[in-house]
Structure 1
Amino acid sequence: HIVMANITPFRGPSCDLGTAFEIGYARKAGKKVFCYSSDSRELKQRISEDFPHFLQDGMSIEDFGYIDNLMIGCSAPIDCIDDRDDKAALKAFQCALERAQSEQQSEYLS
Structure 2
Amino acid sequence: MSLKIYLAGPDVFRNNADAYFSHLKAELSALGLEGVSPLDGELSANEAPAELARAIYQANIARIAEADAVLANLAWFRGTEPDSGTAFELGYAAALKKPVFAYNVPAVPMLRRLAGEVPLTADADAFRDAEGMAVENFGLPLNLMLAVSAQCHETREAAVAALAAFLRPAAH
TM-score past 0.5 threshold: yes
CA RMSD in angstroms comes to 1.9
SS in 1 for 2:138: coil
How many Å apart are 1:57 and its aligned residue?
A: 3.6
- Indicate how the Cα distance of structure 1 residues 29 and 19 shifts in structure 2: closer, same or farther if over 3 A, else same: same
Structure 2: 5+ residue stretches without partners: 1-67, 121-127
Q: Please tell me whether residue 18 in structure 1 is matched to residue 85 in structure 2.
A: yes
Match of 1:41 among 105, 108, 112: 108
Match of 2:147 among 61, 67, 73: 73
What is the TM-score with the length of structure 1 in the denominator?
0.78
How many percent identity over aligned positions?
A: 33
Q: Please tell me whether residue 105 in structure 1 is matched to residue 172 in structure 2.
A: no
* Larger relative contact order (Cα-Cα within 8 Å, sequence gap ≥ 6): 1
Instruction: Tell me if the contact between 1:78 and 1:96 (Cα under 8 Å) persists in the aligned partners.
Output: yes
| Whole-Å separation in 1 of the counterparts to 2:144 and 2:117 | 19
| Whole-Å separation in 1 of the counterparts to 2:138 and 2:100 | 20
What is the TM-score with the length of structure 2 in the denominator?
0.51
Structure 1: 5+ residue stretches without partners: 81-91
* Number of residues of Structure 1 aligned to a counterpart in Structure 2: 97
Specify the code of the residue in structure 1 equivalent to 2:76: P
SS in 2 for 1:96: helix
